[in-house]
Amino acid sequence: MKILIVGSGGREHALAWRLKQSPRVTQLMVAPGNPGIADLAECVPVAGDDVEGLVELARAERPHLVIVGPEVPLVMGLADKLRAIDIPVFGPSARAAMLEGSKGFSKDFMARYSIPTARYRRFTAEQTADAKAYLETFDGPPYVLKADGLAAGKGVVIAETKAEAEAEIDAMLGGKFGAASASLVIEEFMHGEEASFFALCDGETAVALAGAQDHKRVGDGDTGPNTGGMGAYSPAPILDAAMQQRVMDAIVTPTIDGMRQDGRPYRGVLFVGLMIDETHGPRVVEYNVRFGDPECQVIMARLAEDPLPQLLACATGGLAGCKRLERFSDPAVTVVMAGAGYPGEPKKGGVIRGLAEAGQVDGVTVFHAGTARQGNDIVGNGGRVLNVTATAPTLKEAVQRAYEAVDRIDWADGFCRRDIAWRALERG
Ligand code: AMP
Ligand code: GLY
């Protein structure tokens, strides 16, 4: 089979790496890919958000399946356009991708189907005073403000004081993120432990895939500003079999049923960001309509069987008749190496050496997330640059292997957190 993967990060490198091992895959193309992906697949220079270019590419190449990595092309309708020319797509339609593309849509959806989440209200620019008054209905800070639309991961603000929340209401409704913040969700702050849960869906049926946890803050001890994710591990101890079943029953199945009833059948991977505590059990922080990055890296590393039949069933139907992907090998961890300055403006262009040596550590694969090739050199070319991923019989050993590999990488401009998986390791 001929497979086309859309995207250029560590998530797409991990997907390509896993699918390359499938005996069914005869040709693997990635648009646009990256220098790490180029070692195992054919990279085509069409950007991940160039919907027309991607449709043209698919029309010319007729892949048997297109797997869309990032959310932006999905929200822009890439899956719809590919389905219109009879090309199977792993990824939701634009109408279903609104679960991630509009916070207001997803909150109203959850309210309608009694899916557990934080109490909220939506506001537009004319309702600035109401928005500020709504802050009074909470016990106090922190206040959670969310731009309705996609804002490159910056649209969620956790305000520590009322003054900060009020200023942010003015900024967002005043157009800080353009159309993305023309509408605002204000919601209750939820306490508990965060986890990421992934389910595969074909529009009718959802099956659990795996749980993971990531580290959003840039600094050790979960300090400093938020990032796209500085590391991840799977399985997540908090998402044991019983908790996964609760998440399926209370959240994932009602979501898939509700979307189907609303005429927005959901196909692809549903990524539910959860907050879990004793009192409320699992509640939805947010939906994402794609694999997490870097959660995908650890899930792909753990998969002991070929996921292609299931991914294909998500695209074409019949997931219920597919065997569930249950065979997982050892735990996995990924450590993100980022360019100095990230999540602000990262330093680019520094040469990275020792990648081959790092990849020789037992159980380690180094995924590229933001690299570029300069002659014979690989250089840093983004915020999150490398995802050093390791599996081992225990999570503790996986962490040791990952850091052993990190220490073999010679990159003056790079840094990473040194405490990835601390929460799971602390539990023993
Ligand atoms: P993102 O949407 O990935 O930029 O991240 C939003 C982050 O904000 C989540 O991962 C949570 O850590 C936090 N967050 C969002 N909504 C809430 C909430 N209602 N209560 C507590 N934390 C939240
Ligand atoms: N790691 C979180 C995300 O992909 O949104």
The residue extents of the domains of the chain are 2-96, 120-187, 193-321, 332-427
Give yes or no for a cis peptide into 73 (omega within 30° of 0).
no
The finding on whether 144 has its CB within 6 A of some atom of ligand 1 is: yes
Print burial letters for 33-65: b (CB count within 10 Å at least 16), e (below 16).
bbbbbeebbebbebebebbebbbebbeebebbb
pLDDT for res 281: 96
**In the structure encoding, which two tokens stand for residue 264, read together?**
């927005």
Q: State the distance from the centre of ligand 1 to the C-alpha of 377, rounded, in angstroms.
A: 38
Q: How many CB atoms lie within 10 A of CB 381?
A: 21
Report the distance separating Cα 35 and Cα 27, nearest Å: 18
Question: Which ligand has the shortest distance to the CA of 198?
Answer: 2
Q: State the distance from the centre of ligand 1 to the C-alpha of 145, rounded, in angstroms.
A: 9
pLDDT for res 428: 67
Span of 97-111, 136-150, 318-332 with lowest mean pLDDT = 318-332
The finding on whether 190 has its CB within 6 A of some atom of ligand 1 is: yes
Print burial letters for 282-307: b (CB count within 10 Å at least 16), e (below 16).
bbbbbbbbbbbbbbbbbbbbbbeebb
Atom of ligand 2 minimally distant from the CA of 293: 4
Determine contact, residues 118/158, Cβ cutoff 8 Å.
no
Report the sign of the C-alpha dihedral through residues 248, 254, 258, 260, in that order: positive
DSSP 22-64: -TT-SEEEEEE--TTGGGTSEE----TT-HHHHHHHHHHH--S
**In the structure encoding, which two tokens stand for residue 252, read together?**
């994932």
Atom of ligand 2 minimally distant from the CA of 295: 1
The finding on whether 295 has its CB within 6 A of some atom of ligand 2 is: yes
Whether the per-residue pLDDT at 323 is higher than 80: the answer is no
| Strand ranges, E, within 251-405 | 267-277, 281-288, 332-339, 351-352, 364-368, 371-374, 377-380, 384-391
Atom of ligand 2 minimally distant from the CA of 11: 4
Query: What's the pLDDT band for 29 if we cut at 50, 70, 90?
Result: very high
Mind listing the pLDDT tens digit for each residue in 283-309? 999 999 999 999 999 999 999 999 999
Whether the per-residue pLDDT at 192 is higher than 80: the answer is yes
Q: What percent of the chain has pLDDT over 70?
A: 100
- Contacts (Cβ under 8 Å, ≥6 apart) of 126: none
CA 61 to chain centre: 27
The finding on whether 225 has its CB within 6 A of some atom of ligand 1 is: no
pLDDT for res 427: 81
- Tell me the fold of 120-187: Dna Ligase; domain 1 (3.30.1490)
Specify the CATH superfamily of domain 193-321: ATP-grasp fold, B domain (3.30.470.20)
Instruction: Give the position of tokens 């849509």.
Output: 105
The secondary structure element, H or E, covering residue 207 is: strand 206-214
Mean pLDDT of 374-388: 96
Query: What's the pLDDT band for 81 if we cut at 50, 70, 90?
Result: very high
Mean pLDDT (the chain) is 95
Nearest Cα to Cα of residue 3 among 21, 201, 11: 21
Q: State the distance from the centre of ligand 2 to the C-alpha of 293, rounded, in angstroms.
A: 5
Whether the per-residue pLDDT at 180 is higher than 90: the answer is no
Q: What percent of the chain has pLDDT over 90?
A: 90
The finding on whether 292 has its CB within 6 A of some atom of ligand 2 is: yes
DSSP 340-366: TTTTSS-----EEB-HHHHHTSTTEEE
Q: Considering the domain 332-427, what is its CATH architecture? A: Alpha-Beta Complex (3.90)
The finding on whether 285 has its CB within 6 A of some atom of ligand 1 is: yes
Whether the per-residue pLDDT at 237 is higher than 70: the answer is yes
CA-proximal residue: ligand 2, atom 4 (nearest): 292
CA distances from 179 to 98, 144, 157, 172 (A): 15, 19, 17, 10
Pick the CATH number of 2-96 from 3.40.50.20, 1.10.3300.10, 3.30.870.10, 3.40.50.920: 3.40.50.20
Mind listing the pLDDT tens digit for each residue in 401-423? 999 999 999 999 999 999 999 88
Mean pLDDT of 392-409: 97
Question: Which ligand has the shortest distance to the CA of 196?
Answer: 2
CA-proximal residue: ligand 2, atom 2 (nearest): 292
| 319: exposed, middle or buried (Cβ count in 10 Å: 0-12, 13-18, 19+) | buried
pLDDT for res 324: 75
Mean pLDDT of 252-264: 98
